[in-house]
Structure 1
């Protein structure tokens, strides 16, 4: 039967570290099935958020939100992470000795298999779809196979579901072993409840002096396996059963390659209170199908029968990815977790500026009037990346306006342990003026940053209670030159970085700071110019961590690769990106941002003719595919039409995808038009505008030509390939489960009415239904040779006027 695995991470969020999964697979109503929708309808459409719908048996009320009797109370909540996988098992074929991968048991029939585990002992049982092993004082219990398996070129996999408690014992362990013919000579995994360690062991005489141990985590060590390949044994763990981390490797002991083995899953306890451990999915190969969050937990009744049909969506709908981003420089500063951050980008009618770092108790920067006259105009100047900033225009050095704020006790408390790191942007043509200052509440301790009256270099004056004011001058250039400058001052290391260049000097580091002054201090030396993006870091952060903000503020990272930009944008919402393919062009600045992270990331994907999608597992959540991933595609699996066992296979030929007139534009560059006159003459003009974040006009023109060359006259194609995957041989079934967006399918023995007997199609998305003894996949596909590119002197990809399309 089909083996879906549905894990819900109750009590966790997407940002939780090492969440604990609860397997609710036994409660899935497979008669109603699991429905998943992923990807796009075609290659010209944007990939939409994946959705998943699961019907759950709620007869005991465990999935009713707010029900105190639920074993998951109070964590049946919207937004909880969920993962859906499919487990497959390799059927046992041939004769003994069998590869260990063929030892597969999902324990779902609640009966111990006498075929797989004929030598089980100690009162073991199957309960709730799991192998339950008693952990009883003075008793050893375990599941044990016949001696008919071999580890060479194979593996033993299992999921450790329930751990034994310490229970007052001096020893309580559970383990998974590959046993040799010699008692006590074995290898595998061992969990020790007393120490909380899980160890990878190769024992002789029941001992391994070189065992490698790790602090157990139910996330990192949820799945365990031992594997042999090329004469080496690997001990591996996984959080999802699909992506594995090697924890130990060792040259295979001689008995591994020369003997037939028995498998044993065992437990024992010395003293204390009896309980049990549980294992599941022995021998499973796991295929991730969906990862996201539960959006709703509706409870419905038919009479007294209750069902919860939950709806889930992937990370493309997560709240952080759809929130509006602030300008790139703001996002970069926030990534470095400032304690206080005043961007000073308020509109012109403002009279104060706010802190956006989130530290409690920090007051706003309010205007202070020194003497009479002078102005402080918010949004009156232009700061980094063209962002608005205030202009300080005093009537004299002691008459005008500046800003001050009480930063509150949390900043002062942090300053007791960490020295200040100060960052800001400024511009002035006037020396001997105060950029900013900080003091304690009683002003007995102070730090004043200014431009030296003679050199215009950065000067810092500090004073501690009962001491004189001490000035330190750094060897910076004259900064009163009317140009915009970026400054980082690190009290801890005595460093100053100006416009990315670091200078060092010794300096006293005061603490107990609480009051902040910007553009003046004690009504004197009033700043004449611009100041913006004032940030204070009262924590451990290096100068080198902060100096990249200079590049952000001056170039907006124009010219970085599309893959680097995608990772940068994802980092603003706490996500990471893995790339597939290698063709990533340089892209233009997105310094202003202002829309959702998802929209900006899609701009990059569109610019690159790439694909942005989510991971189906819970690893790195986002995937960015480059266009060259599809160049000259080769089928990852081939299906015979007769094996599809469905009735909805579709071949299409229409003008739905025709594009024959492209107008391409880029920021600060030319607007260019590329056409196919032959296509226009045949079908009429089918225009498309391309607003691309390209870095050069040539790159924008290349993108336009690439689109025209592929879609001026699209040939017939297979657009829908439905497959009843469960009926396929195990190798084909697994290949279908591994298939995803951009996987290439080969189709053979097509009906005689088709344009040809074979076709090659690229998967753009799919709908999926996992039911009882059914796994239906309906692939949305496009013609694969749309992405063929010229390979010089190649018999297939160098056919004049046919496959001589230049790669973009």
Structure 2
């Protein structure tokens, strides 16, 4: 019997309802996408629940789940697994081992962990593992995640804590490693984060070496335990255990040193509360930590409970269609605010108005508590939409002076009298013939009214006192670069004794900045209002667009600044990598997203649109070419970047003739559904790039004039990429995928219940993994098949578990590795016919000659393909055309005479990937 568990989150507790699932009908689930290029639908599971007692009738007061069955009730479905894992259910769950001398590592350290947790949770200070307790003298080192960063903390011998941190979006593997060099030989320490796809440890650095200047040794400990999921309420915020799943944890004394703690939960019995690890350490589980032996197949939500009852009221059931949170997010379609409207309030301004109102607005809302809306008169709201980091902004419309435009933002009482600043963005396309004010700031100090003015001749700062006399008058030579583009402005002032120092900063958005300063004798005072001059704007600034006006109790803020890890904030983060955008959006919206890939690989994306979370993510993933889908083992999403798809080792190997390995019809499809031999990629708002295949398999030439031609299959796509330079490369990659000369195998069905010896591999297989299929009938293929999984549908009943995988050929994703692949076999053909058993061939090449055995002896043997016959090339003679090839024939079972002109190529040609 194929057992399946079903749990609902009722009253905040996972409640087992497996006994109510009707086994007479199948459970079925889908995940991923149907083919390459399509978008994954929300993951879905369908099953029926026994409702004869009304347990699943909403509003039925006698139901044991009364008032607990709500829309979007969380549900999870699992099957028994052959291995265990650690599951921490709440912030009380920990796993500890007592202190002993071997764990007192007051020097170099090497940590390796395999966990599945929500790294994007910016609010929680999640502790992964550490020798770190609430007792200050027992805090040695800690690996934790907080505020969007992976963090390694340690305490030096003097009791001072230090920290190295790296953006969580840098980590795109399954296994995280941290190396800590306590004395790097340069008067400090070095921390580096690494990733690997599995525990075998093909490590890739996910950070540059993080170097600190602390060199005082590491604090020794005498009693504190080593803990998975440290609880430390003295931190800000509280350091608490992660919520999710853990698989392996390892601590080494020294980098690549001896293992002193080695936890592998796969072999720990389910339900165990104590166990001994592979290094001989005793461990104890407490709180919400438990060892389970489950394979989670689905996490989702139940949005409705449709009950059906027969006419005799003898039978009643609910057919549940549970779907992932993607369905809800797509249904809600709640647009995100603009980049600046989301970012600026988070930095704590005294006042802020984005001015991103609709066309019929009469005032401008402020998201800051206690700050009233700006009053407006004769403003054309939503008139200017060219600011990349903003929604449409208002413009001044004076109607040639007949009715002036006004904006006034009143600040609440209080504010700094020692230093303040005002920020805003503006665009003015025309150059005023005389000085005209474009910002006015009122306050309580010596200067009661600041007027910032601009003209074709330059700029001017005026400051009027309480009597209307000019206390400040400063003319500044500025040029035409302040016009016809977006400018970020900052005006600031601070008190220094009896002197007020002020300054004005102009920054071209996407360009450079300039600063002018001045001073006067007097007092600074507080800001009371900002906006237009009291009598409105002069007609000379008609058409002035402005927005994102903010006031700060400090002379500067990072709210408008460029964070080092991302693209330009003022350009809507244009230039950040797709992985970084997806991670940032997830953190900003507190949506769990796991990333598989490599940072600083893939495509840079353009400005972030004012759109929903999913649409903003779609824009990035489409540009990058990866797969964004629901997670299976916990609620949330998974992004598989192209770098994670390339050059994989198959996760599952099947044999065509073995029972259960291939069920039903398995046939190749040679159609033109995915063909694209002429591709044009248009940059959103920019230029385009085009690539067409004019020779070789599936080229654009008519089939009657070229044996490899199939005619033109032209496609065009618009992508939100950062630079026009990316377009041609993306078009080339699309043609590479769209002209891969191999049959498609859209589906492959496996009887998971019948493959007992490979059940763990079948259960672990997921979207983005590779299946190797051997023993395929020769009419289908003489070679093994490598299939990339795009999605799957599974059907479970009491007696069977069938999984139908949606697949595409994996060949296009086997790409060149820098420094290893250097072969171009274009235009290589047989110079003379060869018999079916000939051991030597004469080969001529239009492009570069093949490497000879004498030149590169270590490159041999290698496999080649000659018109469908796979051969092993053992040597190459001659350094001019034709070359003599020494071969072993019919490696794939194809026995045939080879004609003159037969094509010769490597068995696996290396292609250059976009993501490296």
Report the TM range for the smaller structure's normalisation. 0.5 to 0.7
SS at the partner of 1:232?
strand
Native 8 Å contact 2:354 2:549 kept in 1: yes
Counterpart CA distance in 2 for 1:557 and 1:324 is: 17
Native 8 Å contact 1:294 1:311 kept in 2: yes
Is 1:764 matched up with 2:790? yes
Counterpart of 1:662 in structure 2 is 679
Counterpart CA distance in 2 for 1:748 and 1:318 is: 41
Counterpart of 1:311 in structure 2 is 321
Counterpart of 2:822 in structure 1 is 792
Aligned alpha-carbon RMSD (Å):
5.4
SS at the partner of 1:650?
coil
1:44-80 per-position Cα deviation (integer Å, ceiling 9, x unaligned): 3222222222433445544433345555553422234
Structure 1 residues 162, 419: closer, same or farther in 2, change over 3 A?
closer
Alignment of 1:674-689 (within 5 A): 674-675=692-693, 676-678=699-701, 683-689=710-716
Native 8 Å contact 2:366 2:373 kept in 1: no
Q: 2:643 aligns with which of 612, 616, 628?
A: 628
Q: 1:343 aligns with which of 333, 348, 355?
A: 355
Is 1:648 matched up with 2:651? no
Counterpart CA distance in 2 for 1:708 and 1:293 is: 39
Per-residue deviation at 1:293?
2.9
Counterpart of 2:194 in structure 1 is none
SS at the partner of 1:662?
strand
Native 8 Å contact 1:383 1:532 kept in 2: no
Per-residue deviation at 1:30?
5.8
SS at the partner of 1:384?
coil
Alignment of 1:85-484 (within 5 A): 85-90=78-83, 157=86, 209-211=223-225, 214=231, 220=242, 231-233=259-261, 282=291, 284-302=292-310, 303=313, 305-319=315-329, 322-324=333-335, 328-330=339-341, 332-333=343-344, 340-344=352-356, 346-347=358-359, 350=360, 352-355=362-365, 357=367, 362-363=372-373, 365-367=375-377, 377-378=380-381, 384-385=387-388, 387=392, 389-391=394-396, 393=398, 401-404=404-407, 412=412, 422-427=422-427, 429=432, 431=435, 433=437, 435-437=439-441, 448=450, 450-451=452-453, 456=459, 478=478, 481-482=482-483, 484=486
SS at the partner of 2:426?
strand
Q: 2:32 aligns with which of 36, 39, 51?
A: 39
Counterpart of 1:485 in structure 2 is 487
TM-score normalized by the length of structure 1: 0.65
Native 8 Å contact 1:198 1:215 kept in 2: no
Counterpart CA distance in 2 for 1:25 and 1:236 is: 30
Counterpart of 1:638 in structure 2 is 653
Structure 1 residues 158, 677: closer, same or farther in 2, change over 3 A?
closer
SS at the partner of 2:326?
helix
Counterpart of 1:149 in structure 2 is none
Counterpart CA distance in 1 for 2:403 and 2:710 is: 69
Per-residue deviation at 1:780?
0.7
SS at the partner of 1:652?
coil
Show structure 1 runs of 5+ residues with no match.
Answer: 12-19, 91-100, 102-155, 164-173, 180-196, 203-207, 242-251, 267-276, 369-375
Native 8 Å contact 2:447 2:465 kept in 1: yes
SS at the partner of 1:677?
coil
Structure 1 residues 569, 158: closer, same or farther in 2, change over 3 A?
closer
Per-residue deviation at 1:664?
3.2
Is 1:29 matched up with 2:21? yes
Per-residue deviation at 1:640?
2.4
SS at the partner of 2:459?
coil
Structure 1 residues 607, 342: closer, same or farther in 2, change over 3 A?
closer
Counterpart of 2:107 in structure 1 is none
Counterpart CA distance in 2 for 1:67 and 1:215 is: 44
Counterpart of 1:547 in structure 2 is 561
1:486-525 per-position Cα deviation (integer Å, ceiling 9, x unaligned): 1246789999764275979999786795xx5521226698
SS at the partner of 1:629?
helix
Native 8 Å contact 2:647 2:814 kept in 1: yes
TM-score normalized by the length of structure 2: 0.58
Structure 1 residues 654, 22: closer, same or farther in 2, change over 3 A?
same
Is 1:807 matched up with 2:913? yes
Native 8 Å contact 1:330 1:343 kept in 2: no
Per-residue deviation at 1:713?
5.9
Counterpart CA distance in 1 for 2:594 and 2:505 is: 33
SS at the partner of 1:450?
strand
Structure 1 residues 421, 357: closer, same or farther in 2, change over 3 A?
farther
SS at the partner of 2:439?
strand
The number of residues matched between the two structures is 655
Native 8 Å contact 1:381 1:391 kept in 2: no
1:109-137 per-position Cα deviation (integer Å, ceiling 9, x unaligned): xxxxxxxxxxxxxxxxxxxxxxxxxxxxx
Native 8 Å contact 2:423 2:489 kept in 1: yes
